[in-house]
Amino acid sequence: MDVTPPGSPAMDVLATAGHVDHGKSALVRVLTGMEPDRWAEERRRGLTIDLGFAWTTLPSGRRLAVVDVPGHERFVGNMLAGVGSVPAALVVVAADDGWSAQTAEHVAVLDALGVRHALLAVTKSDLADPAPVLADVAERLAATSMGNVPGVAVSSVTGRGLPELTTALERVLTDLPAPDVTAAVRLWIDRAFTIRGAGTVVTGTLAAGSVAPGDRFLLGGREVTVRGVQSLGEPVERAAATARVALNLRGVAVEDLSRGDALLTPDAFRLTDVVDVTLGAEPGERLPAEPVVHVGSATVGARLRPLDGAAVRLRLTRALPLRVGDRLLLRDPGTRRVLGADVRDVDPPELRRRGAARQRGAELAAQPDGSAGAAADLARRRVVRAADFAAMGWPVPPGASEQGGWLLAPGLADELAARVPDVVSRYRRLRPLEQGPPAEVVRRALDLPDADLVAGLVRSPLVLRGGRVVDGAAELPPSVQRAVDGILARLAADPFAAPEAPDLAAAGLGARELAAAVRSGQLVRVGEGVYLAPGIDAAARSRLAGIPQPFTLSQARQAWGTSRRVAVPLMEWLDARGVTERLPDNARRLR
C-alpha cells in the first residue's frame, strides 16, 4: 500500500546535537532559511531553550525537516524530547572550541538511543582551523553507534562548506531505512497549542504509519479525531512516516495535553508501568536506583531493580505505551550518565520466589529477538489474546495457533487436546448421570482463560454438543436420544427405579435402541431388561455403606428403595464388579 500522496516527495527528519553556542541554530538558519528559535526570549538571549523546527527542500527534491535542540546543560530535557523519535543526527561542534561538555553528553545520548545515521558539521571554520576538531570528533564518534561519520567544515557567516554539507546530508539521508508506513501510529507529542478558529493542535515526528483527516486515535485515554493534517506548514491529505506533522484534533482540550503524551492507533498499544529491559552494555558502575526514563518525547521517573547481568526491571511512575523492541534512555539525573535499554517484556511475570529475579535475568539473556523471542514469550504465557500479544510488540511466532482471537503457544493446542479425553472420563466417573462435562469444566481443568477455546481442543470421537463435551461416536438418533434423556431424567430423581418393560416400549426403546444407548455409555444394563444410569455402581455403594455389614439382599433392596426385579440383578452385577462380596451364607458386604 502506497500511502504517500502522489507528487509528495520523501521527507526525512533529523535533529541537531552539540554544545551550547556552537552554532546549531545558525547552521539550521542558513541551511533552511527559517528561524528555528521560536521564542522572543531565545532570540534576545541568542540561546535556544526549547525545540525549534525548520525545513527545506534539498537539491535532489528530498525534503528535510530539522529539529533544532538546545545545547545548554540546563535544557537537556528538551534536547532528549527532540531526539527521541528522530532517526538521524547532525552533530555540531565549533572549530574554535572543539569537543565540549554537552557535545559529550549529547553524543552519549545519541549512542544510548542507538542512532546509526549522523553527519558531523564543524562550524565557525572562519574563526579557527577546523581540521584538528574534525579529526578529533570523527574519531570519538567512530566509537559510538554512529560509527564512521562524514565530517564537513562550515561557516554560517561566510557560507563556506554549505554545498559540501548539503551533498553529505543527501548521502546520509539516502541510507536511512525506509519507515513502515502501514504500521500503527504512536506519535509522541512535542508541542500542543491552540489556534484560534481551529482548536487544539499537536505536533510531533511521525516515525511510522500515516495520518489523515478523519482518523481516530487515543490520546490520554480519550478518543480524538483528526480534523486536519499539516506537514512543513502546508495542509496535506495524508502524512506518512517519516514526517513532521501538526494535527488539528477534535475531542481534547490543550490544557489536558503535554509533551510526552502519545497519540495512539486504538488497540494497537497497551499501557504498562513495569518493563523488563536489557541494558546496552553490562553496567560497569553501580546502576542508579531511580533513573529517569526517556522515550519519544516522554520523561518519567522509575525505580530500577537489577535482575541478572544486563537485565533490569523498571517500575515507571506513569504508564507508557511501550512495546517490546523499544529503545529507552535511562538517565541518572545526579551524574548525568545515560544508558540505553531495550524493552524485552512489557508484561513481565511477578518475581515472588527467592532467586526469581536472577532466573528472570538469565531467561531474558537467553531469549532471542524477533519471532524466536515471540515463540519463547508465548510459550511462557501459554495463551494470550492475539491483539494483546501484537500490542506488546511481538510478531505471531511460527507454529502458534490462533483460535477465536486467542493465540496458543506452538504445540499447546495438541497437548491440551490430548488431555481432554481424560477430563471427560474423570467427569463422567464422578457424574455418571451426565453425558459429559460442560465446556466450562474443561476450561478450568485445562487452566484456559476462555471456555470458547475448548471447541478447538475437542477431537474425534469427542464432540462439543449442547455446550458439553460428549462422545460423538455414541451419537444416538434424535428420537432415541430424546427417549433416553427422558429416562435419565427419571433416574436422576430416583437412580434405582429402572423403567419397566412397558415404559421402555412406550418410549420407543426396543432392544436395538437400548443396546445403542448402552454402547454410547448413556445407560447401563445391569440385567435382563434392567437399565440404570451410568455411575449406578457408586450410587449403590454409597447407600450400602450406610447400613450394617454384612447385609442381606432384602436389606440392600430396602437401602436402595427398589423392587426385587431391580435389586436381584443389581446385586449380582455389583458382585461381579467387585463392589460387593458374596459370603457363604448368601449375605454380602462391601469390599
Ligand X SMILES: Nc1nc2c(ncn2[C@@H]2O[C@H](COP(=O)(O)OP(=O)(O)OP(=O)(O)O)[C@@H](O)[C@H]2O)c(=O)[nH]1
Given the rule CB under 6 A, which residues bind ligand X?
Answer: 18, 20-26, 46-48, 70-72, 123-124, 126-127, 155-157
Find the shortest distance in angstroms from Cβ 167 to ligand X.
18
Stretch that binds Mg ion, among 17-25, 163-171, 278-286, 526-534 (CB under 5 A): 17-25
Q: Restricting to residues 43-72, which ones interact with Mg ion according to CB under 5 A? A: 48
* Alpha carbons 278 and 324: distance in angstroms, whole number: 11
Q: Which is nearer to ligand X, 71 or 179 (CB)?
A: 71
Pairing of strands 222-231, 234-235: antiparallel
Which helix (H) or strand (E) is 194 found in, with range?
A: strand 186-195
Closest CA to 154 of 136, 173, 167, 141: 167
DSSP code for 438: B
Find the shortest distance in angstroms from Cβ 296 to Mg ion.
22
**CB-closest chain residue to ligand X:** 71
Residue 46 interacts, among ligand X, Mg ion, none and using kind-specific CB cut-offs from 5 to 8 Å, with ligand X
Residue 124 interacts, among Mg ion, ligand X, none and using kind-specific CB cut-offs from 5 to 8 Å, with ligand X
Q: CB count, 10 Å around CB of 480? A: 21
Q: Check binding of 25 to Mg ion (CB under 5 A).
A: yes
Find the shortest distance in angstroms from Cβ 96 to ligand X.
8
Find the shortest distance in angstroms from Cβ 270 to ligand X.
37
Q: Check binding of 278 to Mg ion (CB under 5 A).
A: no
Our measurement of the distance from residue 340's CA atom to the centroid of its chain's CA atoms, rounded to an integer in Å, reads 21
Note whether 216 and 230 are within 8 A (CB). no
Find the shortest distance in angstroms from Cβ 59 to Mg ion.
25
For 51, the grid coordinates are 525545540
Binding string, residues 208-237; x marks residues near Mg ion by CB under 5 A: ------------------------------
Closest CA to 226 of 247, 205, 210, 244: 247
Find the shortest distance in angstroms from Cβ 68 to ligand X.
7
* Alpha carbons 306 and 77: distance in angstroms, whole number: 25
Residue 296 interacts, among Mg ion, ligand X, none and using kind-specific CB cut-offs from 5 to 8 Å, with none
The contacts of residue 554 (CB under 8 Å, 6+ apart) are none
Stretch that binds Mg ion, among 20-28, 115-123, 386-394, 408-416 (CB under 5 A): 20-28
Size, binding site for Mg ion by CB under 5 A? 3
Q: Which is nearer to ligand X, 43 or 429 (CB)?
A: 43
Which helix (H) or strand (E) is 387 found in, with range?
A: helix 386-391
Q: CB count, 10 Å around CB of 535? A: 18
**Bridge partners for 230 per DSSP:** 235, 246
Find the shortest distance in angstroms from Cβ 47 to Mg ion.
7
Residue 409 interacts, among ligand X, Mg ion, none and using kind-specific CB cut-offs from 5 to 8 Å, with none
Q: Check binding of 24 to Mg ion (CB under 5 A).
A: yes
* Alpha carbons 284 and 86: distance in angstroms, whole number: 28
Give the position of cell 535542540. 69
The contact set with Mg ion (CB under 5 A) reads: 24-25, 48
